[in-house]
Amino acid sequence: MKFTIALSYLLGSAVAQIEPNCRCTCNMRPLVPEVVCSTEDLSTLCKAVSSLPDVAEALSRTDLKYTIFAPNDAGWGNLMLIHDNLLDEPEVLTNLLLNHVVVGFEPICSEDLVCGNLLFMANSSEKGQRTKTACSFGDDPSGGDDAKPEDGEEPTAIYQKGDRNGSSKGNMPEIIGPDTRAKNGVIHIINNVILQKDSFPGEDADDDVAPPPSDDDQAPGQCSGGKECGACKGECQNNDGCRFSKTGWCKRDCEERFGNPETCLCEGGGGDDDQSAAKVCCGGSDCFSCQNECAEFEGCGRESTAECQNYCEEKWGGCQCTGGTSCGECKGECQNNDGCRFSKTGYCKRDCEERFPVGTPEACVGGDDSASTICFGGESCGSCKRECQDNEGCGRESTGQCKGYCQEKWGKC
């Protein structure tokens, strides 16, 4: 197996001199393959590396330092929705794995990554592969993959993307576990797979792989929720409305998720509903707020109020959950309705505790876990995730799982 041995640099910024016994490598730690296989949530990557002896042997060299962007199991799971036989295609898998590895004489710690700069990967001599470091700033994750900080501003999220990951933050591999140390390298855990246009020979190189579908997006037929309005509407049209009972409702959901936030219209027009109808509703942020929109605007200019509220039920589910007027009532709804809009009942109850904090008349007393309350859910998805990062999962779970809760609480970051 031929690796690029030349030292890789972040373009425009040479990697700082790094003492190998500190920072993000450690001589007391095992070699890269062993660390991968002993790290929770990297079992799929372990299986992939172990299936390729040449790759495993190369990653065990001690005369080099490796920087690994390691997709977690969920990230591989998203890819397996499209490609389920990678272990049977060693050449394709090898190319894919090497596109997650930087080879040099010094590791690249997370603090060395520079927003907007490029890294040449281990297969760059043969494939010319490189990936870009992309960043989000503040509570707003928008801004594309070339977003740069203002003076003194620190990124709230860092991504490492290939050409085929597109520029959607929802589809870029985010670094959710930086600086896992090995003797001969550093491992940055990411939540998606880095993809290039030649990652899978024979496929349309201009097609980006869609972001992982949520449970709500998964539907009969081939419905993933799409990666932009046109693809989303195409899925609706070709699959009888996907999870919705009406194709028009499915397309309306596309408009609300991808369209202009002021008009709820995608470029080029709307869905199957009357284009002259005033776009006064955008689907709310949950079932309750969506139904309130329907009532306030008498069907939102599309249909009767009752029909509009039925649409909300299909869009969000869990309309029997109002959020409650007290912590106890809120938790009761969580318990009786399988977590309402959350994937876990515990997440739902945690949201109750954060919305009715100690010191208010409706406050929760105690909680479902014994962990000290060191996180309060933030004021946005970004600030919630920062709590998780700063407090290592907030004493409840892994940092990655904690950030997953933030996504469910606030919507996609």
The 10s digit of each residue's pLDDT in 20-57 is 456 889 888 999 999 999 998 999 999 999 999 999 99
- The DSSP element (H or E) to which 189 belongs, if any, is strand 185-190
Taking only the tens place, the pLDDT of each residue in 46-93 is 999 999 999 999 999 998 999 999 999 988 876 765 566 777 888 889
**In the predicted model, is pLDDT for residue 105 greater than 90?**
no
Half-sphere exposure of 389 (CA within 13 A, CB side): 16
Question: pLDDT per residue over 347-370, tens digit each?
Answer: 888 888 888 876 666 677 654 443
Beta bridge partners of 11: none
Burial 211-241 (b: 16+ CB within 10 A, else e): bbeeeebebeeebbbbbbbebbbebbeebeb
Residue 115 vs residue 225, higher pLDDT: 115
> Is the distance from CB of 405 to CB of 377 less than 8 angstroms?
no
From residue 75, give the alpha-carbon distance in Å to each of 78, 81, 86, 173, 224.
Answer: 5, 10, 14, 8, 15
Q: Is the pLDDT of residue 290 over 70?
A: yes
Q: Dmax over Cα atoms in the chain, in whole Å?
A: 71
Q: How far is CA 377 from CA 347, 357, 388, 408, in A?
A: 11, 11, 9, 11
Task: Report angle CA 160, 162, 167 to the nearest 5 degrees.
Answer: 80
Domain 32-190 has CATH 2.30.180.10: yes
Alpha carbons 87 and 77: distance in angstroms, whole number = 14
| Dihedral sign from CA coordinates of 161, 95, 111, 400 | positive
Structure tokens given for 127: 């494939």
Q: How does DSSP assign 124-147, residue by residue?
A: HHHH--EEEEEEEBTTB--S-TT-
Q: Which stretch of DSSP H or E encloses residue 161?
A: strand 157-161
Confidence band for 13, pLDDT divided at 50, 70 and 90? very low
Q: Indicate whether 291 pLDDT > 90.
A: no
Residue spans of the domains in the chain: they are 32-190, 229-312, 320-366, 369-413
Return the structure tokens found at 65: 């330092």
